[in-house]
Structure 1
Amino acid sequence: MRQLAAVWVAYAALNLAWCDVAYGANPQTPARPGDFDYYVLSLSWSPEFCYSHPSRAECAQHVGFIVHGLWPQFRDRRGPEYCSHAPGPASVRLPRAVMPDPALVRHEWEAHGTCSGLSPEAYFELVSRAFASIRIPRPLMMPEHAIQTGISQIVHAFESSNPGLPGSAIALTCRGVYLESVNICLTKELRPTACSLPHGCREGVVRITPVR
């Protein structure tokens, strides 16, 4: 099945680069802590990441969705990054299902937490609350077998599991035809909010790697 991914190598490269523009920093945007419109809670599908990074810390723990990040964003989709040199927390204890890799914790504070206007402790407490506010659809919690579905079906599953979460607050990204992340727009108070983030998955079949 993985041979299918090779067909989309060029597409995937363009897709990931485009998502960096859509979700990432704009060099023309002043990077002032706390100056942004809403957050993007990026839920990474760990089995897909671990397929190509099996030696990473999170991959020994056999988890499903984890938090990739909680990213400040502007309504025009530009996101500030690296807003200050404020040191990160001396120690952060996040549940393994939230953000299991210490290297990721450090990176997310430096790149995105510094733009939140919060202390490191308050920012990561917000990360945990944001993750807890989203209910993962039961079929996507810990699937033992590969799933073949589509963008609209995944979005609908999250809508159905989370009353008040509109489909317009959800955007998916894929690596080729394989689901990579589900991104959810939240207000600063962690309420779902409609946004204009684009889907980074090709229309048609989306494949979900099983938890191993």
Structure 2
Amino acid sequence: MRWLAVLALTAAPALAEGEPAGDFDYYILSLSWSPTYCALEGDKRGDSQCDPARAYSFTLHGLWPQFESGWPSWCRTPERDPSRGQTRAMADIMGSAGLAWHQWKKHGRCSGLAPKAYFDAARQAYGRVKIPDALARLDRDLRLPAHVVEEAFTEANPGLAAPMITITCKAGRIQEARICLTRDLGFRPCGADAARDCRMPDALMEAVR
């Protein structure tokens, strides 16, 4: 059975930590379906993101530097960490300053950018992608194949094709839309290890609160 262990190791994505900042091939723009986050985690924490008055649909989870296989994390960088004001300023699209801080530490440092430039790039990338109107205003719970969400994004965004976006699920729910971008924030195909669409035929997509 040794060959099974070897196969498992070679098939796994190359994860690493502590790489030098700025060494990566492309970005993943990760957009989180806020009702799923709130149902599985945010409500228990009393997260203000889950206040019905906020009415979040897809929020910015993060802008993640990627290798063609695997990804860097917790990189070494000479840049100073962001100020509280800089992380707080991202809460309007990320839901909280705490998430912005965590994303900087794990992913932002790997970009090789200073905090302001990294958050500016994340905001630009988020603004570049149009959230489909029907999803942004979703007013009832749906059960649907995950590929329907992918198709809604590709139809709403000229130049975005199926190999450039992945829809993920968690606990039977639509979780995230992950869109692959060049270092200049143009659409591009995802690496093989990032192209893992949810195959559920009936994933729950709760209404925007």
- Normalised to the residue count of structure 2, the TM-score between the two structures is 0.84
| Structure 1 ranges of 4+ moved more than 3 A | none
Is 1:169 the counterpart of 2:164? The answer is yes
Q: Pick which of 202-211 and 45-54 moved more.
A: 202-211
Q: 2:182 aligns with which of 182, 187, 194?
A: 187
Q: Partner residue of 1:66? A: 59
Alignment partner of 2:27: what SS? strand
Q: Partner residue of 1:100? A: 95
Is 1:26 the counterpart of 2:15? The answer is yes
Q: Deviations over 1:98-155 (max 9, x none)?
A: 2120110110000000000100000000000000000011111031101222122211
Alignment partner of 1:132: what SS? helix
CA RMSD of aligned residues (A): 1.7
Gaps of 5+ in 2: 1-11
Alignment partner of 1:172: what SS? strand
Q: Partner residue of 1:47? A: 35
Q: How many residues align structurally?
A: 187
Look at both structures and tell me which one has the larger radius of gyration over its CA atoms: 2
Q: How many Å separate the matches in 2 of 1:95 and 1:112?
A: 17
* Equivalences for residues 29-178 of structure 1 within 5 A: 31-52=19-40, 53-54=42-43, 55-60=46-51, 61-76=54-69, 78-84=70-76, 86-90=79-83, 91-92=85-86, 93-94=89-90, 96=92, 98-178=93-173
Paired letter, 1:89: P
Q: 2:199 aligns with which of 198, 202, 207?
A: 202
- Normalised to the residue count of structure 1, the TM-score between the two structures is 0.82
Q: How many Å separate the matches in 1 of 2:80 and 2:39?
A: 32
Percent of paired sites with the same residue: 34
Q: How many Å separate the matches in 2 of 1:158 and 1:182?
A: 9
